[in-house]
Amino acid sequence: MPRITNPATTEAHEALISIYAINDAMNQLILSHLDPRAWRAAPPGRKANGRTIAAIFAHLHNSRLVWLKNSAPHLKCPAQLDPNRCTMQQAAAAHKKSAAQCLKMLTDALSSNPKRRVTKFLRGSWTPTWPANAIMFAYMFSHEAHHRGQILMLAHQLGYRLPDNTVAYGIWNKLWRKPASKQLGV
């Protein structure tokens, strides 16, 4: 069934694309302000219980690669991150690459083009296949927001608070007005 082109729908899809670009800009902002000592610091609590901030950032990037591989195999996937070895600089560069590819995937998925290539969203072989639409965006964004919250909480618990202008309202105030192309440095 062909998709109906509706100006309101197109505008909403463009807003979602912009929000996804802001999503990665938030990750980049956190990485640029995070104290390097927090990167591999052991989470509080029992030994070897929970991910380090490095492992969470690696998980975010590697999850994007799974989404790309399964939902947009025509797009090139950057290399995976090793959660035990990646540096903050490697994570920032990898996130920039995977975000750019995810943005391409979402742009295609949300388009009304009947020849679009991204028509399904598969998060992995263990999950159901979803349609590639706003639900895809919602899952991708909420997954990253959830883990970004973990990162901010873990940094705080470890005693490495980020400056107030990089968390919560500060992130949105800094980023929401920039066009998507500026978020990804395009």
pLDDT digits (tens, 9 = 90+) for 70-106: 999 999 999 999 999 999 999 999 999 999 999 999 9
Using the predicted structure, report yes or no on whether residue 9 has a pLDDT greater than 70. no
Q: In CATH, which superfamily holds the domain spanning 7-183?
A: dinb family like domain (1.20.120.450)
pTM equals 0.86
CA trace torsion 56, 53, 88, 104 (10° rounding): 30
